[in-house]
Structure 1
Amino acid sequence: MEMDFIKKLVYSYIIGAIGGSLFVWFHMPLPWVLGAVTSLLFYKTIWKQDTASSIPLKNISFALLGVQLGSSFTEDTFQQIGPYIIPYLFFTCFIIAVSLFNGYIVSKWLPVKMDTSMLGSIPGGLSASIALSDSLQSNTVLVTIFHTIRLVAVLFIIPFSATHFFYEGNIVSAELSPSTNTGEWYTIAFLILSYLVAVLLNKKIPAAYVMIPMFTVGILKVIGVPMMSLPDFLFIWAQITLGVYLGNSINIEDLMKAGKYCMIYFGLSVWLIIMSFCLGYVFSQMVDISIATAILSIAPGGLIEMALTAQSVGGDPSIVSSLQMVRLLIVVMIVPIFLQWFFRKMEK
């Protein structure tokens, strides 16, 4: 059984790497992530083959991507996001409120329970939504499917739109930026230590495998510690691993189970993305920030995906990742408390 899993995992990485290479060849956005996702979906759907992903490898890849994002921090990053916090909180809370309201309204004219519909409409926080769904005895399968639909919409619409409409400079991505072996070897110990801390605090801190290495590297860079640069192929491998994990998680069969509901929740996801683009533009006019950085900070996508997209279109990945972290904290810490109160009130 173990050998069968290893065989599937190796095949999944080969298929993912081929897909990523093709996306690089055709200059597609987020090539190593989206290429791996697309190729695995085709592999599973057309050839009816099983794929596999490894949770430990995924966690390591998240830590590497956290290191990559942390490397984009400068001395001004933490000072820069200060003036953005108040307006950003307003816009991101507005997006979350609209998504919950959409889920509530849809549940009124579809045979889907209100709690299931609202939990499936939250912009992000899949693991928190699933845990809350289980505790409330909602339809966890539908919650997972609705989040998968949102994930597919976000993965393929936002990077494509950002690349073609909000491009603001030279592409700076893992596959194109040359390695510079600057820094001291002893700083590798900080990276290993940050990963071990993330392992210990994974269940207490949301997205710990990304957050802790990202802020460890960012803070060390800001205070002037000469961080050792990691080889670029590690970051490419990390992006392929993320693509393999996502491609293995998404199943066309699961999407088909939701039937006609799929298109409705896909439409809600697209509407949320369009609204985030509009709010991002307004946000960029209110504060001194580029349009791409503003839109990707508010967009209802994953922290890693949006920060990598910012990096590829000339935005500021450090600001995007910092602001997306604020949204993530709201989604996983505040939204579940509100929903529990709201559901209890509706039951009464």
Structure 2
Amino acid sequence: MLSCSGRLFMTYFTGLLGGIIFYFLHLPLPWILGSLMAMIAYKFTFSQKVIYSTFLKNISYVILGIEIGNTFTDHTFQLISPYVVPYLLFSVMLIAISLLFGFLISKIIRLDAATGMLGAVPGGLSAMIALSDSIKSNTVYVTIFHTVRLLAVLFIVPFAAVHFFAHGETGQRASLAIQTDDPLFWTVFAYPLFFYLAYHLRNRVPANYILIPMLSTAFLNIAHLPAYPLPDVFSIGAQVMLGVYLGQSVSVKELIKSGRYVLIFCFLSMVVIGISFIFGYLFHLMTSLDMATSMLSIAPGGLVEMALTAQTAGGDPSVVGSLQTIRVLMIVLILPLMLPHIPGIKGRSR
């Protein structure tokens, strides 16, 4: 039997091997998807509980937040300002359609409305679990449904973006950073401060370990204090650690046990992804954004994953990161206020 530290090493070593295999197969998001699939295969083959580090997971978010922030320039917010209103329109429509589908499915399969709607909304897994607990829905099912959505998005959207929506230079860059000015080395000493701020604001800022480093690094660049880009090995390590975290959160046994619910919500996820592609195309026609950037900005995926995919597909990761941040904030700030007022859904009494 391996010791605790030995099992922890095996977890991340297995994830790294999966990333290497996916990289040499030239698959999209190789370090994230490769380590994710390696974790699922490892758990299924050896039937062992995977040990991972929450600290390393948080560090990975901080590193990737810095990487995304380093793609921002003083023109980024000027660039996205004309697109905010149409983006909000499409995002609200996508969220509303998802909630409606979730509500209708809950009536068909006799699932409570709160669980069906929370399982369908294109929000972050951790945020939806917390919201599920607060309104007394079935948190186990919400977790499973969002796991299905996560897997569908991670495998469908990057593939489609790279093979159908990509333009210009594409490739498997490990790092997102795009520098227009000479970077200042002293800025690396600010990175631990970003982690410190994210940790202490964890109960006040949604997606804190991503948003705070991303926005802080973006502020440095906008203030003409260009942040020093981290070496590619940091980005690769962060993506592997993120993939390991996502992979360990997938319970194959729970997916199998949930049976028809999983199939229904898998189909729903694909429908929502298809609708997001339609909205992304319309968003592209209404704006001057390229196809890859438009599609990935509206796609119901995670902020980090979509920004990384934008780099691979030749899109603009700073625009994708900015617009995805708007939707994240909209979901985690507005949805908790709205859901308890829907008939059939009641919040936890205080």
Deviation string 1:151-189 (CA, Å, 9 cap, x unpaired) is: 111111111111111111223654378999953332122
> CA separation of 1:271/1:70 partners in 2, compared to 1, >3 Å: closer, same or farther?
same
Determine helix, strand or coil for the equivalent of 1:120: helix
Give the residue type in structure 2 aligned to 1:296.
Answer: L
Residue 146 of structure 2 aligns to a residue whose secondary structure is helix
Matched residue SS, 1:137: coil
Range with bigger deviation, 51-60 or 297-306: 51-60
Q: TM-score, structure 1 length as denominator?
A: 0.94
Indicate how the Cα distance of structure 1 residues 331 and 179 shifts in structure 2: closer, same or farther if over 3 A, else same.
closer
* Amino acid in the other structure paired with 2:114: D
Aligned residues: 346
Tell me how far apart the structure 2 counterparts of residues 193 and 141 of structure 1 sit (CA, whole Å).
35
Are 2:164 and 1:165 equivalent residues in the alignment? yes
The question of whether the paired residues in 1 share the 8 Å contact of 2:57 and 2:245 is answered with yes
1:45 shift after superposition: 1.1
Identity percentage over the alignment? 45
Paired position in structure 2 for 1:35: 34
Counterparts of 2:96 and 2:177, CA distance in 1:
42
Contact 1:64 1:238 (C-alpha < 8 Å) held by counterparts: yes
**Residue by residue, what CA displacement relative to the aligned partner does 1:189-222 show, whole Å, maximum 9, x if unpaired?**
2222121111111111111111111111112112
Match of 1:247 in 2: 247
Alignment of 1:134-213 (within 5 A): 134-171=133-170, 173-175=172-174, 183-213=183-213
CA spacing shift, 1:345–1:47, aligned 2, 3 Å: closer
Cα deviation 1:63-114 (Å, max 9, x = unaligned): 0001110111122101011000000000000000000000110111102111
2 CA distance for matches of 1:179 and 1:329? 25
Q: Specify whether residues 224 and 178 from structure 1 end up closer, same or farther in structure 2 by C-alpha distance, changes over 3 A only.
A: closer
Letter in 1 for 2:157: I
Aligned to 1:113: 112
1: CA distance between counterparts of 2:87 and 2:178? Answer: 34
Q: In the alignment, what sits opposite 1:321?
A: 321
| Contact kept in structure 2, 1:32 and 1:239, CA below 8 Å | yes
Residue 6 in structure 1 maps to residue 5 in structure 2: yes
Superposed CA RMSD in Å reads: 2.1
Instruction: Write the deviation string for residues 233-265 of structure 1: whole angstroms up to 9, x where unpaired.
Output: 011100000000001111111111211111100
What is the letter of the counterpart of residue 218 of structure 2? G
State how far apart, in whole Å, the 1-side matches of 2:174 and 2:89 are: 36
What is the match of residue 62 of structure 2? Answer: 63
CA 176–132 in structure 1, closer or farther in 2 if over 3 Å, else same: closer
Q: Secondary structure at the match of 2:336?
A: helix
CA contact (8 A) 2:102 2:119 kept: yes
The answer to whether the 8 Å contact 1:179/1:231 transfers is no
Take 1:168 and 1:183, find their aligned partners in 2: how far apart are those partners? 28
| Match status 1:81 vs 2:80 | yes
Match of 1:333 in 2: 333
Q: What residue ranges of structure 2 are gaps of 5+ in the alignment?
A: none
Closer, same or farther in 2 for the Cα pair 1:85/1:341, shift >3 Å? same
Aligned to 1:342: 342
Contact 2:18–2:34 at 8 Å: present in 1 too? yes
Q: Which moved more, 1:43-52 or 1:272-281?
A: 43-52
Q: Equivalents in 2 of 1:202, 1:75: separation in Å?
A: 27
- In the alignment, is the contact (CA less than 8 A) between 2:276 and 2:300 conserved in 1? yes
Question: Structure 2 length as normaliser, TM-score?
Answer: 0.94
Distance 1:289 1:319 in 2: 9
Q: How does 1:277-288 map to 2 (within 5 A)?
A: 277-288=277-288
Distance, in Å, in 2 between the alignment partners of 1:176 and 1:66 is 12
Q: 1:204 to 1:179 in 2, by over 3 A?
A: closer
Question: Once the 2 structures are TM-superposed, how far is the Cα of residue 300 of structure 1 from its aligned partner?
Answer: 0.6
Deviation at 1:128, TM superposition (A): 2.7
In structure 1, runs of 5+ residues without a counterpart are: none
Instruction: Give the stretch that moved more between structures: 184-193 or 206-215.
Output: 184-193
| CA–CA separation in structure 1 for the residues paired with 2:330 and 2:197 | 22
Q: What's the counterpart of residue 268 of structure 2? A: 268
